[in-house]
Every structure is written in structure tokens, then in C-alpha cells.
A and B are shown apart, each in its own frame.
Chain A
């Protein structure tokens, strides 16, 4: 029940954050931009001989993944810091 309670809190927190965006509509230009970007990427598919797409995607993915991990670690460290005897007062 405790874990379920935590899950409930986490879910409600997530729903609360998501609710911040209620009423916001995605502008039309975003869809056009995404479509344009998709066309560009599709065109770039024929440049595989020039550009190391696989390596590029892997490196970019690794950088962003590491970035996310670091943010998560910092967040956990910040939360733990509030606990007495573990950095908090």
C-alpha cells in the first residue's frame, strides 16, 4: 500500500504538471515545421555515403541520455538533501 500510495502521488503529480498545459493549443506552424523537417530528413536519407548518420545519431543520443541521467542524479541528490542526517537539517 505504501508503494501504491507513492505511485498515486507520483501519478497525481504528473497529472498536475500535465494540467499546466490545459488550454494551450499547438500552433499550426509547428505542424508545418515538423512536416518540413520530415521532408528534409527524408531528402537527407540519400546522403548516407557522405554523412555518418548512424554514428551521428548514436553520439547525439548518448549525449542527451547522459544529460538526462545527470539531471536525474541531481534531482535525487537534491531530494535526499532534505532528509535529516543525509545532508538536510
Chain B
């Protein structure tokens, strides 16, 4: 069954908390408390559609002057990744104020054949590739996904084992071995991608969480945090608690390209018992940090309330969880999971914090401002067959017409690189956008578009990322691309708006409105330009179209019996003109004596009619060569004259 794609990462709140400097004095920033990785997740089988990241910060209440320096960077670029960004001003949280960002992003399909929301192994929420070979092309796909363990998705078994040993060793050094519990590592991916979370269950070896990793962003060998169990509460140790400097980054790429088939919009995705954290980064603390000295640490207490709205075929409902924390400054807390029913989606989420003595909770992540796109929210209503506990995941895919049938455009529409160049009605004649078994308006496949080049808005013509933090295209008819600074590159006004080159073409086809437009008497421009354009449209074929046709015929020919015969004959013909003079080799091996070559000859191969320099037949060979040359020339010329004559006289071609 064709399926796949809702790459809706979510159901997870990855709230990253860190200091934002503007309202903090340097010494205050140096004493910030960071609460990280509030990670509720959907239940196994749910579709995660929401990832949020927020930032809160507060100066430590420590009177001991313990410094936790430079918690100054927080999920940089997060706002650029989000389809909705809400800036929050957190006042009074933990006794101070700071600006914070709460970010939400969601996506609907970064590319076909990339993901579907299915229950993965170990009951961990994950995104899985389609096993339909029709969608696993080219170079991507993972038809044998189901036979792989989650860990193997990350790296090969041996490498995984090695990595586990390194991690466990590091964890042992920092965590209490008497309290084996879930350990969460928060590695920071390369290329400035925000970090995510990898869960690691020391009590159940082998239950490494899912990890997806973009092939161009190897797992960072540094910036790994350990989250230990402290009093039954998973608590993150200050950064960088663990540094795996010796980890071979190159090996991290193993299997991610060939097995995982990463969605180019994902830096990587991690999922586990504490929830999935994707591109949002979870907790990214950059800069040195110092472990607090034993005893005397200031304790910060409070209650975090994480709530989400879920929606499925049965309607909307609320899920909420409270988490009371009591941690030392500089440490982090991980609240419990908050999940929707299997197969449902989360449509908004929020986080509040209630400190002791407070009557009104502080809003850390405002759910009113952090809902999913309307197009996503209405999906369970429009396509109920794709949601719910028993539903099969549906894919958004682009298809093209081919000989009366619709065929897939493949992974990320890579097989239809020019589709965005088309305009109506050719566009809808040749392409259609499908979600599950439903045909959508073609504009819904705008996520497969690119301005002139490339396949996806965030990739270049080679498929490489233009910017790892660029936003993910929305499920709507508009192509929105952003520079790394968040400025829009191209914001078409209408569904089906065209890339720049198409717009340029349109300008060439009609009079320039500023110079010789319709309002200016200029019949030449009025008539000539449109006619030129029409002629060009009619008679100048697109290279891609011709190449496609040629490729189709060539492939059919090469696999056909006549093609195979021709190829066989072509292989017989020598590449260079034979010019040897040693004669025809003849093997005497069957007559060879036991002790050496046959007949006492120096070799088992004798040559018939050798005519090299010094051979007795060499003068005769020259004469025969001349005689044959003359004969061939005469016969050839006679044949060609006969052919031409037959053509002129109207007869058949002469032999």
C-alpha cells in the first residue's frame, strides 16, 4: 500500500531553556538556571506533529557564588525553522525576567517516501520509510527497514556497540551506578544544528532510541550531556559532562544514507521514552560549564504543567501532566510524557510553571500561540482514514501522467525535476498531488517545489542543503523560502505561483508595462512579443522533456532482444584496428608432453603465417596486403556507386 509521509515530528514538546542575554547582566547570565528538554510525546503509534522549544532563564539564587558560566546560546536558528514563532516575555520566573522564545514548527512531508508515522520497534514513536519499492528511489529508500533495529538505523551494529560502550563509560563516571535508570544524552549535532536527545536505557541494553541523522550532518563527537537519575528524577548534568572526542564522526554516517534515507529537512530525530526531540533542539547549551560542588547548591522548586490538545477521528480532547521539580541550579529536569491517543495528532501545546507561593502559573509556552497549521488540524476531519489507532499512514506524493497512468515522482519528487516549471493547464494535465488515496489540489504539493533549481526549497541542484536551519515548507499552496536570516526569498501571492525563471519568461512574452506596455501605442510590442513567445513555446522543446523521452526509448531498446543483439555484436567489433603481425595463434596444449611443451617446442602456442620484420613470409605479406587493399577499394567503390545509382534511378538500394 502506498503510504508515507507525514513527517510530522511532534507530539513532543522539546522545550529548551536557556538564558537570553538582553535583560541579564553578564554576571547574572553566568548564573543562569536552565531547564531543558520538557519532552512530552505522543503515545506509540501517534503522529507527532508538534515540536516546541522555549527558553526560560533565571539567575541562580545561589548565595555561594557558584558559577555556571555562559549559558548564553539557545537554540540558535530555532525561530528560523519554525512556521510559527511566538516570542514570550517571561517575567518573574524564578525571580527574574528574561526574554524567551517559544517556537513551534510543524511540517507536512518534507518529501515523499521519507517518513510515515508508524509504530516503530520497541514501542518508540518514530518515523519510518515506506517499504514500497515504488517509493524508494533513487538512492533513497530502505525496503528492508523492518528488519533493522532502531540502533542500526543510526549506525552499524558494531559501531553502535562501540558507541554504547563509550557512552556507558562516560555515564558511569558521572552518574550513580547504584541507581540504574534511564540516561539521556543530549548530543549536539554538527553544522550548528540544534541538539536533540538520545535516550539510553541502562537497564535494558539494546533499547537505544531511534535516531535519524542527516547524512550531511554527522553526529557531533562533542557536546554530549548526561542525564542521570537523581532521586528517581532524570536530571541533566551540566554541560559538557561527557565528551566523546575520540568518537569517529565518519562512522556516524554509516547506514544513515543507505538505510535511513533521511529527510533533508531533518537534522536528525531522536525518540525515546522521554519523548522525541527533533530539529527543535531540545537542550543546546553551548559553552563551558562547571559541576556544582557537593552540598550547598541552591535548590529551585516548582511545578511544570505540560498540556496538549489532541485530535483524532473522534474529536478534540486535552491531555495534561504535572511535574514537580526540585533541582539544583544548573541542572535540568525532564517532565513526564504527555501523549495523545494512538493515531491522533496534537494540535497545540503549552507549558506553565508554578513556583512555590505563586497562585497563578507562569506561561512558558503559550498554547494559544502554538498551534499547528489549520491545514494540519483539519486533516483528521478530511482524511479520517489516515488517522486513528487502526489507520494506515498516508503519504503526500506527487504523481505524473505516463501513458494513461499515474506514476510516482519518487522520493522528494526527484523524478519530476521540472514539474514546477509548468503552468495551467499543463500542470494539472501532467501532474497531480495525492495524499493517501485522496487527490488534493496540486498546490498542496508545493513542498516539492524549488525556485528554478533543485528539488526541494531547501536544497540545491545537487540535493545538498542550502541552509540547515531553513524552514520547512508548509502544507499550503504557497512556496515560502527564507534566507538564513529569515527573510523571504520568494513569496508567491497565488497558489501555483511560478519560479523566477517562469516569471521572467512571462515578462518577455508581454510588453513591458513601464516602457512599451499595453497602454502605449506600440503595435510591434503588442504583436511581436506574444507571437515570438508563442512560437518559442510551440517549437522550442524543453531539454528535460526530450531527454526523458530519449532515456525511455533507450532503456527500452537496450533491454529488448534487438538491442541485446546489437550490443552483443558491438562487443565483438574490436575497438582498435588489428595491426598485429605475429599470425594466427594455435594452441598445442592438448598435445603437450608431461615434461614440457608439445613436440619439443619452446611454447605450446605456435603462430600460423607470421609476417613480422625478419620473418620469411614478411615480403609476401606486403604483396598480399597491397593486393587485398586494391580489391577492397574497387569493390567498395563499385558498391557505393551502385547504391547511389539505384537511388537516382528509383530502384532499391543496391548491395
CA distance A50 to B81 in the complex (A): 76
Q: Does A82 contact B (CB under 8 A)?
A: no
Shortest distance between the CB of A32 and any CB in chain B (Å)? 11
Q: Which residues of A contact B568 (CB under 8 A)?
A: 30-31, 34
Shortest distance between the CB of A5 and any CB in chain B (Å)? 9
CA distance A34 to B584 in the complex (A): 19
Among candidates B556, B569, B621, residue contacting A34 with C-beta atoms closer than 8 Å: B569
Q: Which residues of A contact B549 (CB under 8 A)?
A: 7-8, 10-11
Count of residues in B whose CB is under 8 Å from the partner chain: 59
Q: Does A80 contact B (CB under 8 A)?
A: no
Q: Which residues of A contact B561 (CB under 8 A)?
A: 21, 24-26
Q: Which residues of A contact B612 (CB under 8 A)?
A: 49
Q: Which residue of B lies closest to A9 (CB)?
A: B549
Q: Which residues of A contact B629 (CB under 8 A)?
A: 52, 55
Interface size class of A (residues with CB under 8 A): 35 or more
Interface-side segment among B53-61, B371-379, B536-544: B536-544
Q: Which residues in window 616-655 of B have CB below 8 A to A?
A: 618, 621-622, 624-625, 628-629, 632-633, 635-636, 639-640, 643-644, 646-647, 653, 655
Shortest distance between the CB of A21 and any CB in chain B (Å)? 5
Q: Is the CB of B585 within 8 A of A66?
A: no
Q: Is the CB of A62 within 8 A of B541?
A: no
Q: Which residues in window 56-79 of A have CB below 8 A to B?
A: 56-57, 59-60, 62-63, 66-67, 70-71, 73-74
Q: Does A88 contact B (CB under 8 A)?
A: no
Give 1 or 0 for each of B569-580: 1 = CB within 8 Å of chain A CB: 101111001111
Q: Is the CB of B556 within 8 A of A18?
A: yes
Q: Is the CB of A47 within 8 A of B557?
A: no
Q: Is the CB of B625 within 8 A of A50?
A: yes
Among candidates A1, A47, A55, A62, residue contacting B578 with C-beta atoms closer than 8 Å: A47
Q: Is the CB of B636 within 8 A of A47?
A: no
Q: Does B157 contact A (CB under 8 A)?
A: no
CA distance A60 to B635 in the complex (A): 10
Q: Which residues of B contact A71 (CB under 8 A)?
A: 653
Q: Which residues of B contact A1 (CB under 8 A)?
A: 537-538
Q: Does B179 contact A (CB under 8 A)?
A: no
Q: Which residues of A contact B621 (CB under 8 A)?
A: 49-50
Among candidates A21, A41, A51, A74, residue contacting B560 with C-beta atoms closer than 8 Å: A21
**With A15-B552, A52-B628, A56-B632 in contact, do A4 and B545 touch (Cβ < 8 Å)?**
yes
**With A34-B569, A41-B574, A50-B609 in contact, do A63 and B640 touch (Cβ < 8 Å)?**
yes
**With A11-B553, A21-B562 in contact, do A45 and B578 touch (Cβ < 8 Å)?**
yes
Q: Which residue of B lies closest to A24 (CB)?
A: B561
Shortest distance between the CB of B208 and any CB in chain A (Å)? 50
Q: Which residues of A contact B632 (CB under 8 A)?
A: 52, 55-56, 59
Chain A interfacial positions (CB closer than 8 Å to B): 1-4, 7-8, 10-11, 14-15, 18, 21-22, 24-26, 30-31, 34, 37-38, 41-57, 59-60, 62-63, 66-67, 70-71, 73-74
List 15 A–B pairs whose Cβ atoms lie within 8 Å, in order of A's numbering.
Answer: A2-B539, A4-B545, A7-B541, A10-B549, A26-B561, A26-B564, A46-B578, A52-B629, A52-B632, A53-B577, A54-B577, A56-B632, A57-B577, A63-B636, A74-B647
Given contacts A1-B537, A46-B581, list 19 more A-B pairs with CB under 8 A: A4-B546, A18-B562, A21-B562, A26-B564, A38-B571, A45-B574, A47-B580, A47-B583, A48-B579, A49-B611, A49-B618, A49-B622, A49-B625, A50-B628, A51-B625, A55-B629, A63-B639, A66-B644, A74-B647
